[in-house]
Each structure stands twice: as C-alpha cells, then as structure tokens.
Amino acid sequence: MAFPFAMAEAQDLGHSSLRPEHMILGVLCNARDPLVAVLAGHGITLETARGAVRAAPAEPENTPTSDEDRYAEDREALKILGIDLDKVREAVARNFGDDLTSGWGRREDRRGGRGRRGGRGPRDCG
C-alpha cells in the first residue's frame, strides 16, 4: 500500500520523481502499517512529514539536467534489473524503424499529462 500512496503524494506535491521522502509519506498514509506507530512515537506524523517535504527543495541537488544525463541515469537504474537499455533502444529502432525512445530523458513528458491536483489541497489518504 505504501507505494501507490507514495506516488500519489509525489504527484500531489508536484514532484516529477518518486523519492524516499514520498515513500515515508506513503507509509504514513496507511494507518494499518505498524511503522506508523513507530514513526509517531518519534513525533513523525503524516502532517509533520508533509510539511517537511513541502519545505525541502523540490528536486535534489544532484538531479541530472540534460537528456543525456537522464538517459544515463535510466540506463544505470535498469542495469540493476538486468535490462540493457541500449539493446532495448536498438531493438525498438530495428523493429519499428523509428527511434521511439527519442526523448526518454525528459521527465516531464513521462507524466502523461497528470499534474498537480489543482485546488484540492493535501490528499486524504484515508
């Protein structure tokens, strides 16, 4: 349950990537998770955590800025899963004739038009 809640929290905050702080928010959204009580025992509630995430910079300092850097980051991340992104890209170009992977490095294009949920305020994890 934490993962879908984390994705929703990141989206509601207008963040373009899922980061550890969103996972913490995702855990805190699930009142049945035993970690909620542990975190609350240390003064970390959903509202205090949301406040801290809102106050932090929206993107970490080491976020890649160019398409090439983002592609390299994706290549390394997928390598951990045993996926060779360069081979996938070559196969797509070979089988479909076009480079359908063009622009993969642009994070904002990956959101599929979804964005900040205007005017609704924080999500009620409920």
**Domain membership flag for residue 49:** yes
Question: Half-sphere exposure of 54 toward its Cβ, with a 13 Å CA cutoff?
Answer: 10
Q: What's the structural domain count of the chain?
A: 2
For residues 40 and 80, state if they share a domain.
no
Q: Give the pLDDT confidence of 21-35 residue by residue, as tens digits.
A: 888 899 999 988 888
Dist CA 4 CA 111 (whole Å): 15
For residues 21 and 47, state if they share a domain.
yes
For residues 50 and 90, state if they share a domain.
no
Its domain, for residue 75, covers: 67-105
Q: Is pLDDT at 84 greater than 80 in this prediction?
A: yes
For residues 8 and 48, state if they share a domain.
yes
**Domain membership flag for residue 122:** no
What rounded mean pLDDT belongs to the chain?
76
Dist CA 126 CA 29 (whole Å): 7
Whole-number percent of the chain with pLDDT over 70: 71
Give the mean model confidence (pLDDT) for residues 99-121: 48
For residues 7 and 43, state if they share a domain.
yes
For residues 51 and 6, state if they share a domain.
yes
